[in-house]
Amino acid sequence: MLELKNITKIYNPGLVTEMCLFDDFNLTIEDGQFVSIVGSNGSGKTSLLNIICGNIPIEQGEIIINGKNIVKMPEHKRHNSIGRVYQNSSMGSCPNLTILENLSLADHKGKTFGLSWALNKSRIDYYKEQLSSLGLGLEDKLHVKLGALSGGQRQAVSLIMSTLTPIDFLILDEHTAALDPKTAETIMILTDKIVREKKLTAMMVTHNLRYAAEYGDRILMMDKGNIILDRSGKEKESTSIDDLLNIFTKISIECGN
Ligand SMILES: Nc1ncnc2c1ncn2[C@@H]1O[C@H](COP(=O)(O)OP(=O)(O)OP(=O)(O)O)[C@@H](O)[C@H]1O
């Protein structure tokens, strides 16, 4: 379980540009939930993910994973239990390295590197098995550089990289936003498959209301650092994309977009 308790986040404290984004923000996410997060530009979605991952500090509050407060845990240590896929696949991977090298790096996250780190045959078989589960033929392209793949193939590899080692949370940060509609759909289907098969808890920020409604067990809508809609279970099932769009339009008009 992930709990955010009484979070305060102030950007540029003490400066004329000071901005309090989160003021006494609270959120609890149950194990195994697939949470979709939508909201207007600047509502705080990415900041929320960054706070959980430890990319940005907070002024106050607790971040509790499975009962342990991780506020003081540095970013690289948090990444042992958190996988993240970004909109831009070159974040979190190396375009100049091959698929095999990228997977091997991901496999060794949080570990010290010895001479034998890239040479383990059984791990290579495991990488191939993981890649073949995508059904894109990438298991035959182990020695192809990541930068030479299409955007969709790169995101598929990023998904495998972020879930290669046992993690508790998968963070999806607009991970289909740069893809064409058909490829985006493929990546969403693969994402859902990986999340269900590996029984992960997932948080997905997206501007695609259909993906949010279709794939999330729970939908959160954010506005100005607050959660203004939180639906799961039957309540979520009865929420249509039009309902979401209407609420979204209302808050957008209110903030003058
Ligand atoms: N490093 C920063 N310094 C100062 N202000 C920031 C910083 N990062 C974000 N902000 C501000 O915090 C607010 C929330 O930004 P954030 O990027 O979290 O929103 P978002 O919902 O992810 O937006 P988008 O949908 O455009 O990605 C915005 O007003 C933004 O200007």
- Centre of ligand 1 from the C-alpha of residue 95, in Å: 27
Closest-CA residue to 67 (of 47, 57, 55, 81): 81
- Centre of ligand 1 from the C-alpha of residue 42, in Å: 5
Residues in the chain: 257
Ligand 1, pocket residues at CB < 6 Å: 11-12, 19, 21, 39, 41-47
The DSSP symbol for 220 reads: E
pLDDT (tens digit, 0 to 9) for every residue of the chain, 257 residues total?
999 999 999 999 999 999 999 999 999 999 999 999 999 999 999 999 999 999 999 999 999 998 899 999 998 889 888 999 998 877 878 999 999 999 998 988 766 655 555 557 788 999 999 999 888 899 999 999 999 999 889 999 999 999 998 998 999 999 999 888 888 999 999 999 999 999 999 999 999 999 999 999 999 999 999 999 999 999 999 999 999 999 888 877 665 55
Q: Which contacts qualify for 10-13: CB closer than 8 Å, 24 or more apart?
A: 10/59, 13/59
- Centre of ligand 1 from the C-alpha of residue 87, in Å: 15
pLDDT of residue 66: 87
- Centre of ligand 1 from the C-alpha of residue 209, in Å: 20
The residue whose CA has the least distance to atom 26 of ligand 1 is: 41
Question: d(Cα 123, Cα 128) in Å, to the nearest integer?
Answer: 9
- Centre of ligand 1 from the C-alpha of residue 47, in Å: 6
pLDDT of residue 114: 57
**Number of the ligand 1 atom closest to the C-alpha atom of 46:** 22
Q: Which domains does the chain have, with CATH numbers?
A: 2-254 (3.40.50.300)
The residue whose CA has the least distance to atom 15 of ligand 1 is: 42
The residue whose CA has the least distance to atom 5 of ligand 1 is: 11
Question: d(Cα 241, Cα 239) in Å, to the nearest integer?
Answer: 7
Question: d(Cα 225, Cα 22) in Å, to the nearest integer?
Answer: 5
pLDDT of residue 120: 74
The residue whose CA has the least distance to atom 11 of ligand 1 is: 42
The residue whose CA has the least distance to atom 2 of ligand 1 is: 11
**Number of neighbours of residue 126 by Cβ within 10 angstroms:** 14
Question: d(Cα 39, Cα 244) in Å, to the nearest integer?
Answer: 10
Cβ-Cβ contacts under 8 Å for 127 (sequence gap 6 or more)? 100, 103, 104, 107, 139, 142, 160, 164
Give the Cα-Cα-Cα angle 201, 206, 211 (nearest 5 degrees). Answer: 80
Question: Which ipTM score applies to this complex?
Answer: 0.97
pLDDT of residue 121: 79
- Centre of ligand 1 from the C-alpha of residue 49, in Å: 11
pLDDT of residue 133: 86
The residue whose CA has the least distance to atom 3 of ligand 1 is: 11
Contact 70, 20 (CB under 8 A): no
Tell me the whole-structure pTM to 2 decimals. 0.90
Strand, coil or helix: 58? coil
Question: d(Cα 19, Cα 80) in Å, to the nearest integer?
Answer: 31
Q: Which two tokens stand for residue 168?
A: 């508790």
- 174-198 per-residue burial string, b: 16 or more CB within 10 A, e: under 16: bbbebbeeebbbbbbebbbebbeee
- Centre of ligand 1 from the C-alpha of residue 44, in Å: 6
